[in-house]
A and B are shown apart, each in its own frame.
Chain A
Amino acid sequence: MFADQPIATPRVDPRSLRGRLVGVATLFATPLRPSHYLELINPLWTTHSLRARVEAVCDETRDARTLTLRPGRGWRPHRAGQFVRLGVSVGGVRHTRTYSISSSPDRGDGCITVTVKTVAGGRVSPFLVGELRPGSYLSISTPAGDFVLPDARPVRPLFLTAGSGITPVMSMLRTYRLRGTMPDVVHVHYAPLPHDVIFKDELQDMAAQEPRYRLRSVYTRELGRSHFDREQLESLCPDWRERDVWACGPQALLDAVERHWDAAGLGERLHIERFQAPRAALSSDATGGTVSFAGSGRRVEADGRTPLLRVAEDAGLNPAHGCRMGICHSCDVSLLKGRVRDLRTGALVEAEGQKVQICVCAAAGSVELAL
């Protein structure tokens, strides 16, 4: 699913002739690689790490910005709907976050676009939206994810998106448009008010130019409008049962959509892309405690709601992590003492002596981690 993809550089078989020649060439630069010297001329030529240059930035709404990125060597084209992991230095410290690619792979100019919306209290999104300048470089992963349209068979998609959840779907729509193969699409998009819609002009243009694309915008702050519910769906898209559905947006929308489709017994026609791990509502007795880090000897106080990964990072540690959503297990750490709470379900996890995923677990009382 969201398994974190390491920076995939094209690996040459070391036993082949080409591999041996590359090995010898590397010896000229040892302990570095020739790529480290190429980096001095053009960071996009590196093979030891994949970079992207910021070609342009464009403000979509008051808190969303589109970054046009040119990936370097080692990039392979994405499928519409996939995401990339961007690595950027904020305040001197490197952070990584995943973002859906909003451009079509058929774009043709060697660039991709990523549309970032500021997350309140976030560390990386305010920097990307407010400060990142054209000409700077980010590190980037190869594209990953299976929130994609099927290759072979024709579909009649129903897209359900809200806020920045429109980004992967935008990649799909742009691909249809470029190829001239727009199927019978119903796109329900939720936004608070009209000017909050990212890609507003482009969507309206698409609705006007492509007769088979039907856009249904729902402005949730307007009077009489509500969030997703069954009656609304019936009125906006009466044939929803015959459609394959792609949904992306905040947790509330996706939970509601999932419940609805499961109730109708059509769960396998639903594709969901989550940007954050689903969080269960926590009871008021979800208290935290002292978190001790055995390796570094540090101790900090934590509440019962902040993931331990974040607690460790705030304490100045640098734990390995991947998707930050509880899927890839890159952040697994041994829980030496205490109990943790899985924030996705709200349940207590008795895992003393075992590994826990610190990106989705918070302290339930005092804990000790092998970090």
Chain B
Amino acid sequence: MSHTLPVRLSDTDIEEFGREIDRIAEEVRADLGPRDERYIRRLISIQRGLALGGRIVIFASLAFTPAWGHALVSWPLFLALISLGTLALGTAKILENMEIGHNILHGQWDWMRDPEIQSATWEWDSVCPSDQWKHSHNVMHHTWTNVLGRDRDIGYAMLRVNDEMRWHPVYLIQPFSAVLMALFFEWFIALHDLEINRLLAGVKDRAVARQQWRGIRRKAGRQALKDYVLWPLMAGPFFLYVCAANFVANAIRNVWSFVIIFCGHFPAGVHVFTIAQINGETRARWYVRQLLGSCNIDGGRLFHVLSGNLSHQIEHHLFPDLPSNRYPQVAPRVRALCERYGLPYNTGSLSHQFGSTMWKILRLSLPTAAPGGQLVTMK
């Protein structure tokens, strides 16, 4: 059956496009080797060194609090050092969450057959259990990308991010809930696969939810114990300083990942789809849906690494299990291919992409008309 995607291409053109995308993936896969292995191993070493170093600097800064009364104490020096340590720890958490954890759990590095750098066994430094995230992300989000009524990543079942979503008074507070979500993003992700809205509606299996809840409690419990009890306790009377530093480090990671991830599928110009539109979807049409539903962010090499190469959201959605260090290499080819086929390639600066996302969240908190009158109530 003919496609109903919002592109001016025939069915044969789309299939040819799909074949060309396949060819790019095959070429890169055949080229994977020691260079890539060195990349991920070095990155992991740097991240762990940064995390440990950050915690050490936080502790070292405590020696400069005025409470000690020696010659070098000063509030500015203490604050500068603890901020440095917190920033280092926050950056380490960003690297672990995005360029390392997210990509390993996608199976991007399974080809190395390393017993630890494996999607099957890697547990990432987040309150969200790896196995539950793999389900909600790899299975649900990447299969049903941007399909209204199926992809629960659209607004994370909390925010209205498209005109096609039916308005409800609860969305009035979404500018504030968005800020809350940003600060505590890892907690929202932890609860994402629990599908609380479906649980409350009585649609979700309670036994499954109970088991998931146990897993979340265990993982989140250990993470919270580490950052908010154990490490602060090591500082004795300076418990609160370390607690605050760790909270800020987590918040840095939460806000940064929130910004990058929201720029992936919500900026202006991104497409959403109905279930009817994916009827009879071939692999090539799946590629086109991934392309139309994803947005890139322009930036330099360091920015790409810090964003977990999700600045290449399009390439990530086309090739989710290709090692992320290859996305920058592949992006120009994908972009040129899209130009040749007259397909859109949504990219822009961080301020542009995030600005349009924030504007959408503000605008859609109020009732708006849906284009074409199609409205979907989010389940």
Contact = CB atoms under 8 A, between A and B. Distances in A.
A28 B231 contact: yes
Contacts of A28: 226, 230-231
Interface in B35-82: 35-37, 45, 48-49, 52
Contact of A40 (B29, B33, B48): B48
Top 8 A-B pairs ranked by shortest CB distance?
A31-B123, A92-B37, A94-B113, A92-B33, A92-B34, A30-B222, A318-B113, A91-B33
A183 B220 CA distance: 63
B132 interface: no
A316 B112 CA distance: 10
Interface residues of B, number: 28
Interface in B112-134: 112-116, 123-125
B179 interface: no
B48 A89 contact: no
Contacts of A24: 230
B55 to A, nearest CB: 9
A49 interface: yes
Interface string A68-95: 0000000000000000000001011111
A48 B123 CA distance: 14
A268 B123 CA distance: 49
B325 interface: no
A354 B135 CA distance: 29
B45 A93 contact: no
Nearest to B219: A31
Given A92-B34, A318-B110, 13 more contacts: A27-B222, A28-B226, A30-B225, A31-B124, A37-B52, A40-B48, A40-B49, A40-B52, A48-B116, A49-B116, A92-B33, A92-B111, A94-B112
Nearest to B129: A31
A102 to B, nearest CB: 26
A127 to B, nearest CB: 11
Nearest to B30: A316
B276 to A, nearest CB: 27
A227 interface: no
Contacts, number: 58
B223 interface: yes
B225 A27 contact: yes
B111 A316 contact: yes
Contact of A92 (B32, B48, B124): B32
6 contacts: A49-B116, A89-B114, A92-B36, A92-B37, A316-B111, A318-B110
Interface string A138-163: 00000000000000000000000000
Nearest to B39: A92
A218 B114 CA distance: 43
Q: On chain A, which size bracket covers the interface?
A: 20 to 34
Given A37-B48, A40-B48, A30 B33 contact: no
Interface in B70-115: 110-115
A36 interface: yes
Contact of A31 (B111, B222, B225): B222
Given A27-B230, A31-B124, A91 B52 contact: no
B102 to A, nearest CB: 14
B37 A89 contact: yes
A32 interface: yes
B241 to A, nearest CB: 17
Interface string A22-57: 001001111110001100100000001100000000
Contacts of A49: 115-116
A30 B124 CA distance: 9
Contacts of A37: 48, 52
Given A32-B48, A40-B49, A40-B52, A94 B114 contact: yes
A93 B112 contact: yes
B112 A92 contact: yes
Given A93-B112, A318-B113, A30 B226 contact: yes
A32 B34 CA distance: 25
Contacts of A93: 111-113
Contacts of A316: 29, 111
A89 B34 contact: yes
B226 A27 contact: yes
A195 to B, nearest CB: 34
Contacts of A40: 45, 48-49, 52
B181 to A, nearest CB: 23
A290 to B, nearest CB: 20
Given A27-B222, A27-B225, A36 B230 contact: no
Interface in A305-329: 316, 318
B257 to A, nearest CB: 17
Contacts of B48: 32, 36-37, 40
Contacts of A32: 48, 125
Interface string A1-35: 00000000000000000000000100111111000
A39 to B, nearest CB: 8
A316 B37 CA distance: 16
Nearest to B44: A36
Contacts of A36: 48
Interface string B120-154: 00011100000000000000000000000000000
A27 B36 CA distance: 31
B82 to A, nearest CB: 19
Nearest to A319: B113
Contacts of B35: 92
Interface in B229-271: 230-231
Contacts of A29: 226
A318 B110 CA distance: 8
Contacts of B37: 89, 92
Contacts of B123: 31
Residue among A28, A30, A37, A318 with the highest chain B CB neighbour number at 10 A? A30
A48 B35 CA distance: 25
A94 B111 CA distance: 9
Residue among B29, B37, B113 with the highest chain A CB neighbour number at 10 A? B113
A16 B36 CA distance: 43
A95 B37 CA distance: 14
Interface in A145-193: none
B254 to A, nearest CB: 17
